[in-house]
Amino acid sequence: MKYASTVCAILLAVSLLSYGDAAQAQQPVKVQPGKGSPYILMGTEVWDVPDPVSRRGYQVFVSLPASYAKEPSRRYPVLFATDALYAFPVLSQISRRLNVEHPQVQDFILVGLSYANGEDGALSRDRDYTPPPNGPSDTPTGAVQGHGLAYQSYLRDYVLPFIAKRYRTDPRRSLFLGHSYGGLLGAQILFTDPGMFSGYILGSPSLWYDKHHVFDMEAAYAVNHRDLAAKVYMYVGEYETSKFNRTNDLVADNRAFDAALKKRKYPSLALKSDVLNDEDHLSVAPRGFTHGLKYLLPAR
């Protein structure tokens, strides 16, 4: 009897210790660990969400708004961002900074989409973010392209359900953000499965890819559809033209794309397109992210 009570006491202690560790693990980190350890982006989580079809490993990075723990019955819009190694930390801080003095954007759950585990980012995005396998002539030897539809299926069938099951999301407000090839991927989704997301931020999209193939996708969509239910924000930098030593004129492409969509007069399409002054293909992203958030998620 004494032995049993001792065992129970030990199990209880272990249970309480485990609970304490778990509770502590769920608390947001407020002080960096120091001593030369890696910097931690506060209030974020990382999850493994592999693709069973391609058998590649991927991760998603998640940032929850400060109100998430305080309002347990509230559901939130979700923004899925490509090129997460860069875009995720930038977006997480922009969203917080915009609301420091007064609300400018709604609280939302940010999900960063990583490159395939163990792969160089260029290889991953060349393959996963592009439509057909006919890319630019200067593509590195051995690079694989044109798997955008397969990656799109992975997002639809595995990433979106994973996030919806684990977090309090608003299924009516699932948003996409992509820059460059990421913007090209977003345009592809817009014309092949537009209901996958309700809003799109297409930043400096590589519309030139494969002889402007995405314009053919837009035309093919228009043949069989009389509406396009989406809110779309497009941005491009003023210096993204051949005048400033660029091979492709992204400003002209963006304007042509904007004109093509407006010509369709889709009743449920809300579209805004900006050419941001004094910006090039690399510098424009943070500013474009800011404008996109304000357009898709304006504070109520």
Considering the domain boundaries, does residue 19 fall inside one? no
Considering the domain boundaries, does residue 265 fall inside one? yes
Considering the domain boundaries, does residue 17 fall inside one? no
Task: Give per-residue pLDDT as tens, 39-91.
Answer: 999 889 999 999 999 999 999 999 999 999 999 999 999 999 999 999 999 99
Q: What is the CATH number of the domain that holds 203?
A: 3.40.50.1820
> DSSP states of the chain as a string?
-HHHHHHHHHHHHHHHHHHHHHHHHHSPP-S---TTPPP--TTEEEEE--BTTTTB--EEEEE--TTTTT-TT--EEEEEESSHHHHHHHHHHHHHHHTSSS--B---EEEEEPPPTTS-HHHHHHHHS-SSS---TTPPTT-----HHHHHHHIIIIIHHHHHHHS-EEEEEEEEEEETHHHHHHHHHHHH-GGG-SEEEEES--TTHHHHHHHHHHHHHHHH-S---EEEEEEEETT-SGGGT-SS-HHHHHHHHHHHHHHHT-TTEEEEEEEETT--TTTSHHHHHHHHHHHHSB--
Domain that holds residue 91: 43-296
Could you give the number of structural domains in the chain?
A: 1
Considering the domain boundaries, does residue 28 fall inside one? no
Can you give the pTM of this predicted structure? 0.87
pLDDT of residue 143: 73
| 31 vs 18: which has the higher pLDDT | 31
Considering the domain boundaries, does residue 13 fall inside one? no
Considering the domain boundaries, does residue 35 fall inside one? no
Considering the domain boundaries, does residue 101 fall inside one? yes
Task: Give per-residue pLDDT as tens, 88-123.
Answer: 999 999 999 999 999 999 999 999 999 999 998 999
pLDDT of residue 243: 82
Considering the domain boundaries, does residue 273 fall inside one? yes
